[in-house]
């Protein structure tokens, strides 16, 4: 089992076997998130450099990976961008997990490991339909047939 599978329980489902998705390194994800936040705030590298008291070239080198970003650098970027460092590091695409507790994540992991009959029983217990009928998949409610 890889380190990412130990750290992130959602990786253990071997989704890579069904959908091959190249996973960027965490450092690349961090740089991408910082650039996204800068764009959202309409801040240039020069703006960030001014606020941090750094040169624009240092910001550029940190954001393109030529220079390793330290935890202190990450914290300073987070402060300037008014987000928490944990938000910069968190996996993109897993926003639905942001509010989940570790216990809830373990519950979902365990649910996925159950045989289908047990999964169906759990779905009934929680009053969740495991299979939707075709008419429930429509965007609009089904129309009634005229008699």
DSSP states of 121-141: HHHHHTT--SS--GGGGSSSP
Domain positions in the chain: 25-94, 100-130
Question: Which CATH architecture fits 25-94?
Answer: Orthogonal Bundle (1.10)
Q: What is the mean pLDDT of the chain?
A: 78
Predicted confidence (pLDDT) per residue in 100-124, tens digit: 778 888 888 888 898 988 888 888 8
pTM above 0.85, yes or no: no
d(CA 74, CA 125): 45
Residue 18 CB: number of other CB atoms within 10 A? Answer: 8
């Amino acid at each position: 089992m890889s380190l990412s599978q130990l750290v992130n329980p959602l990786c253990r489902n071997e989704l890579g076997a069904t959908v091959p998705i190249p996973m960027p390194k965490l450092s690349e994800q961090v740089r991408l998130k910082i650039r996204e936040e800068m764009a959202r705030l309409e801040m240039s590298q020069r703006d960030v450099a001014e606020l941090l008291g750094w040169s624009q070239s240092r910001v550029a080198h940190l954001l393109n990976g030529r220079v390793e970003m330290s935890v202190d650098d990450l914290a300073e970027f987070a402060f300037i961008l008014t987000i928490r460092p944990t938000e910069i590091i968190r996996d993109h695409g897993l926003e639905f997990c942001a509010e989940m507790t570790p216990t809830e994540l373990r519950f979902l992991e365990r649910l996925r490991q159950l045989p289908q009959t047990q999964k169906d029983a759990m779905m009934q217990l929680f009053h969740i339909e495991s299979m939707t009928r075709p008419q429930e998949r429509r965007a609009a409610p089904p129309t009634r047939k005229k008699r």
